[in-house]
Amino acid sequence: METITLNNGVEMPLLGLGTFKTAGDECVNSVRTAIEAGYQMIDTAEGYKNEEQVGQGIAESGIDRKQLFIVTKVSFRSFENAREAVLSSLKKLRTDYLDLVLLHWPFGNYYAAWRELEKFYAEGIIRAIGVSNFEPDRLIDIVSFNKVVPAVNQIETHLFCQRQVERKWMEKYNVRPMAYAPLGQARRNEMFTLPEVTALAEKYSRTPAQILLHYLIQLGIVVIPKSVHEERIKENFNVFGFELTAAEMETLRALDTASPMVGTPAKPEKVEMFMPH
């Protein structure tokens, strides 16, 4: 597994398994299957309500904990009680340390939550701390007025939303970009059928999904594609071992429309999801 080095020296895999909207046995099985296929990183969240199943999948795989990189997130609804939230995640995930913990959304008292994460980090219970869904204004804010600079910003990133401006800010502060929805949640099928993508798939004997993931990886962006199907879990893992040319990278870069689909509370249908009930 190729890795990157975070701003605190911790090595992080460039690829992991996403688990959003996976539950029950399907979640347990996808995690176990991924680890058996060679995945070393699993991404979950308090808000996904599946940390217990992720923990079970890890246990069933029998892998040595030290070989894994476990990522979870504190929900903004828990920011006033972040200590409790992290302790609960540790228990559900059946581990005594976490590799990376993120603030899920920059809402509410994220300063209180960040300072709690800073304490866990100082105690050695979390190896790296970071944020998620932080647009440049929030990122500048949290970097400027706290002790620890986030190691990672997990934010929606895919072919149609490449975060070129946002990534410049992350680079300035040495915050690593981590792409969620790297396949655009498979909601926009044209991503898989664009001639620019299928031509590369043919040239490199890969699938369109593999090209889409590899493109982000070649840019140094960590990816966490989600699948509950064994063949796709394996497909999404087989994205190393080839290099796109500079011209091919530029062709894909030009397909950016800079428009997020998921990470925008401004969309009316998202109102419920973001209410602090």
Ligand X SMILES: NC(=O)c1ccc[n+]([C@@H]2O[C@H](COP(=O)([O-])OP(=O)(O)OC[C@H]3O[C@@H](n4cnc5c(N)ncnc54)[C@H](OP(=O)(O)O)[C@@H]3O)[C@@H](O)[C@H]2O)c1
The span from the CA of 17 to the CA of 235, in Å, is 12
The span from the CA of 156 to the CA of 179, in Å, is 6
Nearer to ligand X, 50 or 61 (CB): 50
CB of 157 closer than 8 Å to CB of 182: yes
β strands within the chain, DSSP E: 3-5, 11-13, 17-18, 41-43, 69-74, 98-103, 126-132, 152-156, 176-180, 222-223
Question: Does residue 152 touch ligand X according to CB under 6 A?
Answer: no
Nearer to ligand X, 122 or 276 (CB): 276
Q: Which stretch binds ligand X (CB under 6 A): 31-39, 114-122, 163-171, 228-236?
A: 228-236
CB of 151 closer than 8 Å to CB of 100: yes
33-48: burial string, b at 16+ Cβ within 10 Å, e else: bbbeeebbbbbbbbbb
Q: Which stretch binds ligand X (CB under 6 A): 56-64, 106-114, 116-124, 223-231?
A: 223-231
Q: Which stretch binds ligand X (CB under 6 A): 90-98, 134-142, 144-152, 232-240?
A: 232-240
Site for ligand X in 22-51 (CB under 6 A): 43
**What is the β-pairing status of strands 98-103 and 126-132?**
parallel
Which of 226, 237, 244, 248 binds ligand X (CB under 6 A)? It is: 226
Nearer to ligand X, 90 or 159 (CB): 159
Question: Does residue 181 touch ligand X according to CB under 6 A?
Answer: yes
DSSP string, 144-177: HTSSSPPSEEEEE-BTTB--HHHHHHHHHHTPEE
Q: Which stretch binds ligand X (CB under 6 A): 16-24, 50-58, 61-69, 195-203?
A: 16-24
Which of 27, 68, 227, 260 binds ligand X (CB under 6 A)? It is: 227
Alpha helix (H) residue ranges in 174-266 = 190-193, 195-204, 208-218, 230-237, 246-253
Question: Does residue 157 touch ligand X according to CB under 6 A?
Answer: no
CB of 61 closer than 8 Å to CB of 89: no
C-alpha radius of gyration, the chain, whole number = 18
Residues binding ligand X: what is the number (CB under 6 A)?
Answer: 26
Question: Does residue 262 touch ligand X according to CB under 6 A?
Answer: yes
| C-alpha distances in Å from residue 219, one per residue of 16, 252, 271 | 16, 11, 33
CB of 98 closer than 8 Å to CB of 68: no
Nearer to ligand X, 95 or 153 (CB): 153
Which of 28, 128, 170, 183 binds ligand X (CB under 6 A)? It is: 183
Which residues carry out catalysis? 48
Question: Does residue 130 touch ligand X according to CB under 6 A?
Answer: no
Q: Which stretch binds ligand X (CB under 6 A): 113-121, 221-229, 237-245, 265-273?
A: 221-229
Question: Does residue 132 touch ligand X according to CB under 6 A?
Answer: yes
Which of 3, 10, 20, 37 binds ligand X (CB under 6 A)? It is: 20
Nearer to ligand X, 95 or 207 (CB): 207
Task: Give the residues lining the site for ligand X (CB under 6 A).
Answer: 18-20, 43, 104, 132-133, 154, 180-186, 209, 224-229, 232, 235-236, 262
